[in-house]
Structure 1
């Protein structure tokens, strides 16, 4: 390279002085505009590569290059290519074939749409266990049938207590009974857990078979989960083929899709066993259907249905012949199971939803209703027969929310309607005296109310965060006048604010008539609370190492004192029993 001349050296020196002066004046942009900016130093070379997540990509298969499709006329690519040389007869034949093809496609499309609509409607036909358990492991079905066979070998009638039982004049005897009960229940532990249903548990019922802990749970999407909580754990084969015991879940469970479709419109709001022999189970759904599953035949059949009416609860008389149904329209329906379901009658008893009803087990002509109108009412349902006779021409009508339109045969039942205006007028008349025996007001909506097994104690649950207890004297039932008092003898503060994502808390009496009356209720602190009929807290069952959710739904064994179960919003259920049974 030839040496630089004196002119070039002077020029470079001049540029360097100007650059230094501009940089001192912080005029870097001017330096850049004059093309005098120093070139940035090149980044240091390195062999390290940035860390990238490993992504397994499928190996590309070698595909031989295919000849690109040639462009064709859109007219020629249509079905039924038109031959320019076709005769009139060929044209008529082609057009007839095209018309037939279009008609067939339209018919198939309509059939597919109809199948889709049918899949979203409730099922009204009889269903066998194979259909109910569709989607479950077929190998488990024989075990389930064997389990049902065991409970049908004996008759398990619902226990009925004595109205005068445990009515002590000496208060110390009540305290002794509570102490005895506390000794049996305070040490109950979590002995089994299982995810019995796929969705939130809405209802539960404990089968009275004493040799088993068989519990039926209804969930949010119409699924009936049956849990044999203390059945031997299932043996499964590991990767090496060795047989091991699967101890992740307690007992064995089966899931039946009792109500369809599997959506929140099919939530099972209530589960009840036949009070005569417990050889069948009744389930009610928000879709307005009631079904019964026979354990002997394995057939589920519909006994009642009504369109656009949310059924909230049911109860049966001790004979098992009559059923009472409450709904979100503020009415109750009387259904005689010995007659055709078309003879059912609907009575408007409230202007708001009746969320719960309960039939007195000792005197079945007295009924409790709990509604969103903030009132708990006691009815003498014998007077309802007189009310029905007062109607000169009772026409079969649909409930108020289902106006117009004839009923479709075989799909729903529209019971004869006795409107709330007629009921109120009858109650105010001389003939209707004694129809409504009492009305007990609450500060907010009454979510539940039940008679105890003796038929004299009542517990109610309200959104005002209070449990109330009443004791109805036997002499009150004998009179035809209203009950003399409406004040509860005990109020218990209890957080009932379950919100949107938890099932409503309901205080459930133990159905065992041979022990001191007591009830269970879930607690927002993830415990299961047990209270006596006098309002004494017997025990608070909890286990923070195993339970981390609210036990919203509870029930007790009808024959064994030291048994209780609970279920939560994920479908996981817990059996509480003595620790030696674990």
Structure 2
């Protein structure tokens, strides 16, 4: 704060009205002016003009413009009254300037009103460089409070200037920016509870239910959970092989022995319906004839033609094949092998040599030769196989169907594992193929909604036309098979909940259904689809599983008449989707979704 003196005041020349007008003209926010001195005080002595300039500290090396507040004592107007005290804001001369800013001169420049001692009024546009120290005698005119306040302001300004806060703040900001640029944030470890745990049922985990304790095994990737079956021949070693392999050797020896025995050459004929129904009524199911042969859902079955021993083979959805000697009542009467990686879609004992069991999976066709105790590889393909049947009585060639709709001819006598011929028959999907029992050049193929008969002699890569089309199906067809003796009938199972029988004795271009049987054919995703198969001993009768309760296996005549239902409330409590009938004896076997086989026999 700078104090300057002016000439003596003449209080007689200032009227009260002029004083009120000057107070009203004082701008809002200006410094409050002291009250007017008493006339006696003004008469007592001469007063000098008081001028106080307050300016804030320079920020960033630049001094802001000065501001002045004119007091009520100022404003002398053309001789009406002398100038009174004026309060102006100036930077205190005693405060040090910030670093880098120009220092104000110690004395006002020459020629200025302040230097001349006149009543100078500082303009707002002034750069403030002419502020200097006030005369010592000016402070004597201030009150004790004002002097103390001025002293505090001066000391505070010196203290904050000595701290150099701006320089410290800039230096800290620079150090913080450099530190942050080199800091690398560590990734937070993923908490175990944040991971989504996928629930898997006991069936998907391949865990045996019914309270069986399973040892804790460390979790492994699903791709490495199961061993893959290699290509090429595989030894006949069961999964439950123990140190003593005598039980397995006994089973294979039984298979070899019954294969060497020639079956009676009885001519296939159709007996009268009354006798046939009597034979069906004599076939019953007992607890001793139920056994879990494979681990998972049964997809295919085959029965050995032996008449002395009941020998059954079953394939499940995991590629496992189970062999069961039904006549052996011991627990060791069944053993399981794993020659495939995928579901065993079709199985047949060779009609020429029953020591050979041919099984078809998605990736390969194998022949289980008990004489050499190996599962030999007959054919392999990148495309998925669906079914097969023998083209000749000696079983040297086979017709194979693919899931993508094609068919192929495979010759077992040719070296290698490739097919001889691959043909596109125009199907989107081929589920089953079956060769005519008499005219071996014909075969019937069941596809998505198509069932057609083709001549294998005229197959080519593309553009194959069917010999006959069996019309009427509106949804996907699960199976189509010729009748076993003459091939004059074809039975189909369709997802439209109908069984259809066709007359194929003439092989017309289009054939309509001879009879239709309405029944529930929707097994769902957990059951193998029904396949209606003909009884080899009866030309006009076929067998098929059922969804009805109590659980049963039904026998129909080609006219649509229900002849018999195999059931047992105490022993049969599941759906038997896959069935097989013995070629010469009254034996029926049904397989369910848990790998169990049920044998109905006399």
Q: TM-score, normalised by structure 1?
A: 0.61
Q: Deviation of residue 139 (structure 1)? A: 4.1
Q: Deviation of residue 267 (structure 1)? A: 0.7
Q: Deviation of residue 256 (structure 1)? A: 1.0
Tell me which residue corresponds to 1:256: 337
Tell me which residue corresponds to 1:448: 479
Tell me which residue corresponds to 1:30: none
Contact 1:155 1:278 in 2 (8 A): no
Contact 1:520 1:554 in 2 (8 A): yes
Distance 1:499 1:136, change over 3 A: farther
Unaligned runs of 5+ in 2: 1-219
Tell me how far apart the structure 1 counterparts of residues 370 and 565 of structure 2 sit (CA, whole Å).
Answer: 35
Tell me which residue corresponds to 1:571: 595
1:211 aligns with 2:308: yes
What secondary structure, in the 3-state scheme, does the structure 1 residue paired with 2:285 have?
Answer: strand
Tell me how far apart the structure 1 counterparts of residues 591 and 529 of structure 2 sit (CA, whole Å).
Answer: 12
CA deviations on 1:75-132 (whole Å, 9 max, x unpaired) are xxxxxxxxxxxxxxxxxxxxxxxxxxxxxxxxxxxxxx9xx87975442121222366
What secondary structure, in the 3-state scheme, does the structure 2 residue paired with 1:185 have?
Answer: helix
Q: TM-score, normalised by structure 2?
A: 0.59
Q: Deviation of residue 187 (structure 1)? A: 3.6
Q: Deviation of residue 328 (structure 1)? A: 1.0
1:239-254 mapped onto 2 (5 Å cutoff): 252-254=333-335
Distance 1:351 1:380, change over 3 A: closer
Contact 2:235 2:375 in 1 (8 A): yes
What secondary structure, in the 3-state scheme, does the structure 2 residue paired with 1:148 have?
Answer: helix
Tell me which residue corresponds to 1:336: 411
Tell me which residue corresponds to 1:299: 374
1:521 aligns with 2:520: no
Q: Which stretch shifts more, 363-372 or 531-540?
A: 531-540
What secondary structure, in the 3-state scheme, does the structure 1 residue paired with 2:463 have?
Answer: helix
Tell me how far apart the structure 1 counterparts of residues 516 and 243 of structure 2 sit (CA, whole Å).
Answer: 46
Of the three residues 309, 320, 330, the one matched with 1:223 is 320
1:6-25 mapped onto 2 (5 Å cutoff): none
Find the structure with the greater CA-based Rg.
2
Tell me how far apart the structure 1 counterparts of residues 243 and 310 of structure 2 sit (CA, whole Å).
Answer: 22
Tell me how far apart the structure 1 counterparts of residues 244 and 307 of structure 2 sit (CA, whole Å).
Answer: 28
Tell me how far apart the structure 1 counterparts of residues 312 and 284 of structure 2 sit (CA, whole Å).
Answer: 17
1:363 aligns with 2:439: yes
Q: Deviation of residue 158 (structure 1)? A: 9.9
Of the three residues 549, 554, 559, the one matched with 1:534 is 559
Q: Which has the higher helix share?
A: 1
Tell me how far apart the structure 2 counterparts of residues 350 and 157 of structure 1 sit (CA, whole Å).
Answer: 42
Query: Which one has more relative contact order, counting CA pairs under 8 Å at least 6 apart?
Result: 1
Contact 2:290 2:598 in 1 (8 A): yes
Tell me which residue corresponds to 1:189: 284
Aligned length: 375
Tell me how far apart the structure 2 counterparts of residues 143 and 461 of structure 1 sit (CA, whole Å).
Answer: 39
1:202 aligns with 2:299: yes
Tell me how far apart the structure 1 counterparts of residues 265 and 520 of structure 2 sit (CA, whole Å).
Answer: 31
Q: Deviation of residue 528 (structure 1)? A: 0.6
CA deviations on 1:443-492 (whole Å, 9 max, x unpaired) are 1111100011122221111001111112222xx26xxxxx0551111111
Tell me which residue corresponds to 1:396: none
Tell me how far apart the structure 1 counterparts of residues 600 and 498 of structure 2 sit (CA, whole Å).
Answer: 25
CA deviations on 1:294-324 (whole Å, 9 max, x unpaired) are 12221111010112x2211110022312111
Q: What is the RMSD computed on CA atoms of the aligned residues?
A: 2.6
Tell me which residue corresponds to 1:140: 247
What secondary structure, in the 3-state scheme, does the structure 1 residue paired with 2:274 have?
Answer: helix
1:134-533 mapped onto 2 (5 Å cutoff): 134=241, 138-156=245-263, 161=268, 177-191=272-286, 192-231=289-328, 233-234=329-330, 252-260=333-341, 266-286=342-362, 288-307=363-382, 309-317=383-391, 318-340=393-415, 341-372=417-448, 374-384=449-459, 387=460, 418=461, 422-423=462-463, 427=465, 435-454=466-485, 455-473=487-505, 476=506, 483=508, 485-512=510-537, 515-525=538-548, 526-533=551-558
Q: Deviation of residue 533 (structure 1)? A: 3.3
Tell me how far apart the structure 2 counterparts of residues 519 and 439 of structure 1 sit (CA, whole Å).
Answer: 18
Distance 1:330 1:135, change over 3 A: farther
What secondary structure, in the 3-state scheme, does the structure 2 residue paired with 1:149 have?
Answer: helix
Q: Deviation of residue 134 (structure 1)? A: 4.7
Q: Deviation of residue 268 (structure 1)? A: 0.5
Q: Deviation of residue 220 (structure 1)? A: 1.0
Tell me which residue corresponds to 2:117: none
Q: Deviation of residue 149 (structure 1)? A: 2.4
Contact 2:263 2:307 in 1 (8 A): no
